[in-house]
Amino acid sequence: MLNNQRHSIRRQLVDYSRPNYFFVTICTLKHGYYFEKYPELEKIAQKNLLEIYKYFENIEIKSWVIMPNHIHFIIAIKYQVKEVTLGKIIAVYKSIVVVRWLKVIKNHRVNSIGSIWQRNYFEHIIRNKRELDDYIKYIEDNPKNWLNDSYHVSVK
């Protein structure tokens, strides 16, 4: 029998439901340039990121950028709500984007795969105001630094 158990990359002693700021990166499947190739998908990803608070009243998106093959954003969990963790928020977001993208594929006969996300996501707990400012600047500068970005195909 194959043992295909996944292990969590989250820090074991961190409560991801408590108030905090997080820098998050979500990558596309195999780092495909889906947001560049399909502008409608980029619009769906942006709209739903900015409207995720409709599902989770205790959060706020502070800064964000959508690159050709990944998304960076800073999310603030303003107060604790039972069973609302960063992981759940990310899972709901990714799911909503896929469902809405599948509707576009079906309705407009777009020749694309429906599965667009890489499994998991990267997060960093922002510890202080200086780090928050540094991550906001990183997000703002990301598009102009794209050719040197580790997610750019030419850097690998």
Tens of pLDDT, residues 41-83: 999 999 999 999 999 999 999 999 999 999 999 999 999 999 9
**Is the predicted pLDDT of residue 18 greater than 80, yes or no?**
yes
**Is the predicted pLDDT of residue 1 greater than 90, yes or no?**
no
Percent with pLDDT over 70 in the chain: 87
Q: Which of 48, 98, 52, 45 is nearest to 75 (CA)?
A: 52
Which residues, listed in sequence order, are joined to residue 20 by a DSSP beta bridge?
77
Type of residue found at 45: A
Fold of 20-146: Alpha-Beta Plaits (3.30.70)
Q: What value does the mean pLDDT take over residues 16-23?
A: 96
| 117-136 per-position pLDDT tens digit | 998 999 999 999 999 999 99
**Prediction pTM value:** 0.87
Q: Give helix 86-108 / helix 39-50 axis angle, nearest 10°.
A: 140
In the numeric block, the tokens 């990183």 are attached to 138
In the numeric block, the tokens 């992981």 are attached to 87
